[in-house]
């Protein structure tokens, strides 16, 4: 019991140190803390088939986004509403990552999936400016969380894939919020579907990177 409490306090201290460094604009301290967190999460997705499940998850997300882009012509009579693809995508992320994380829980990944669900549901009605502000604030939080998850990935190539995806999602969120404030020509669902494609491609890249690292270790066991 005491060991669990000590570990909990240590993890909480690391998270507060990360937030403190981020707010004060200390990138070197942030990188140092992310390296420490990365060392504690090095066993993530280490199962023999985890890489394949990550690739499958990424492909499903891209497929959902593709169906969403074609929704106006194919799903008009099936009850499709903007954000449905993102909602199902978030559910897939949460369910599959929960399975991969057993017996523990990857809380950051779970939180990322929940944010996608929230974004999908919230996108149905953005008539008020306050609703739109909350929606895009959540989208920015999702992008920053993806970048943080990338910084904790032990695979260098996987870290690059997720980091690039997070930065791209951040750019899309910025463009979407700016467009909404000026003329609202792009559409919220288009913004969500674009980030869903980027997320899916990033997760596919993560899975491929983990497989590549595993094959390299097998070829050079020393």
Shortest CA distance to 201 belongs to which of 42, 15, 44, 64? 64
Q: Which pLDDT belongs to residue 23? A: 44
Query: Are 19 and 124 within one domain?
Result: no
Three-state SS string over 4-15 comes to HHHHHHHHHHHH
Query: Are 84 and 146 within one domain?
Result: yes
3-state helix, strand, coil in the chain (%, to 5): 80, 0, 20
Query: Are 101 and 158 within one domain?
Result: yes
- Domain of residue 22 covers 1-40
Angle between helices 107-122 and 188-219 (to 10 degrees): 160
Query: Are 2 and 107 within one domain?
Result: no
Query: Are 131 and 161 within one domain?
Result: yes
Query: Are 14 and 61 within one domain?
Result: no
112 and 142 Cβ atoms separated by less than 8 Å? yes
Number of domain units in the chain: 2
- The one-digit pLDDT tens for each residue of the chain (222 residues) are 554 444 545 555 554 554 455 444 555 555 555 555 554 555 677 777 888 999 999 999 999 999 888 766 555 555 677 788 899 999 999 999 998 888 888 889 999 999 999 999 888 777 677 888 899 999 999 999 999 898 888 888 888 999 999 999 999 999 999 988 887 778 888 899 999 999 999 999 999 998 887 777 666 665
Query: Are 120 and 138 within one domain?
Result: yes
Q: What is the largest CA-CA distance in the chain?
A: 60
Q: Which pLDDT belongs to residue 195? A: 95
């Amino acid at each position: 019991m005491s060991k669990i409490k000590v570990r909990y306090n240590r993890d909480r201290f690391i998270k507060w140190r990360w937030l403190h460094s981020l707010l004060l604009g200390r990138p070197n301290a942030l990188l140092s803390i992310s390296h420490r967190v990365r060392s504690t999460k090095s066993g993530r997705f280490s199962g023999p088939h985890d890489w394949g499940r990550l690739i499958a998850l990424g492909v499903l997300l891209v497929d959902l986004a593709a169906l969403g882009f074609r929704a106006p012509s194919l799903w008009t009579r099936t009850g499709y509403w903007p954000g449905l693809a993102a909602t199902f995508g978030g559910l897939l992320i949460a369910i599959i990552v929960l399975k991969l994380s057993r017996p523990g829980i990857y809380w950051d990944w779970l939180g990322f999936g929940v944010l996608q669900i929230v974004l999908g549901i919230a996108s149905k009605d953005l008539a008020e400016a306050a609703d739109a502000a909350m929606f895009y604030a959540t989208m920015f939080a999702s992008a920053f969380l993806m970048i943080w998850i990338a910084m904790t990935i032990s695979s260098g190539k996987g870290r690059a894939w997720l980091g690039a995806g997070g930065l791209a999602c951040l750019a899309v969120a910025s463009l979407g919020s700016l467009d909404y404030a000026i003329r609202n020509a792009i559409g919220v669902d288009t913004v969500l579907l674009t980030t869903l494609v980027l997320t899916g491609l990033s997760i596919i890249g993560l899975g491929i990177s983990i497989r590549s690292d595993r094959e390299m270790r097998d070829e050079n066991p020393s």
